[in-house]
């Protein structure tokens, strides 16, 4: 097996392209099967490809995440998933950091996530908050979620106001 740092150095984080859509869909489907993500169709992924960041290794999509606009001041980190064999290389954190930078570049001062991975997001500077602070999310996604009345996800938020 290759040295851990060597594999980590071979992973590239970049903006997704249409050529990545199938790889994104495959990982999102994995996340859905694991009970971590809501489903996303290939057509939906293609239609929102500009919102996606991918991690690649030797041409293979090994991690994904998207940034979804809720309003002029708020975006959500969504559909974050990493292929199991790459989860020990810090890929998820690198994807979230890229999405946070994307939010900053878009002028969106606040990023949030609904997650069970509280410690992961805390390490990235997110803090716990109330889900009720995100009515757009509840209206848009939570209302169609199959576990909406037994949700165990925690709302996390991070300020990304540009340092000027």
Structure tokens given for 40:
């996303």
The pLDDT tens digits of the residues spanning 19-47 come to 999 999 999 999 988 888 888 899 999 99
Q: Which residues contact 147 (CB under 8 A, 6 or more apart)?
A: none
Residue 92 above 80 pLDDT? yes
Which residues are within 8 A (CB) of 57 and not within 5 positions of it... i.e. 6 or more apart?
7, 10, 11, 12, 86
Domains for the chain: give ranges and CATH numbers.
4-159 (3.40.630.30)
Do residues 70 and 33 make contact, with C-beta atoms less than 8 angstroms apart? no
Average pLDDT over residues 140-156: 61
E strand intervals along the chain? 11-15, 52-57, 60-71, 74-82, 110-115, 127-129, 154-159
pLDDT of residue 162: 59
Average pLDDT over residues 85-112: 95
pLDDT of the residue at 1: 46
β-strand 154-159 against 110-115: which pairing, if any?
Answer: antiparallel
Nearest to 41 by CA among 79, 86, 87: 79
Question: Model-level pTM?
Answer: 0.86
Q: Kindly report the average pLDDT of the chain as a whole number.
A: 86
Query: Mean pLDDT across the stretch 129-157?
Result: 64
What length does the chain have?
164
């Amino acid at each position: 097996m290759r040295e851990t740092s060597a594999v980590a150095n071979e992973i590239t984080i970049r903006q997704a392209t249409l050529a990545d859509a199938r790889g994104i869909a495959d990982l999102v489907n994995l996340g859905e099967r694991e009970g971590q993500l809501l489903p996303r169709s290939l057509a939906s992924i293609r239609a929102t490809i500009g919102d996606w960041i991918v991690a690649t290794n030797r041409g293979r999509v090994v991690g994904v995440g998207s940034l979804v606009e809720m309003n002029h001041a708020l975006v959500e980190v969504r559909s974050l998933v990493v292929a199991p064999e790459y989860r020990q290389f810090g890929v998820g954190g690198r994807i979230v950091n890229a999405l946070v930078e994307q939010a900053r570049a878009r002028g969106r001062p606040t990023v949030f996530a609904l997650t069970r991975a509280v410690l992961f997001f805390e390490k990235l500077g997110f803090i716990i908050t109330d889900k009720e602070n995100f009515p757009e999310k509840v209206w848009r996604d939570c209302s169609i979620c199959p576990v909406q009345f037994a949700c165990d996800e925690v709302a996390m938020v991070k300020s990304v106001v540009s340092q000027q």
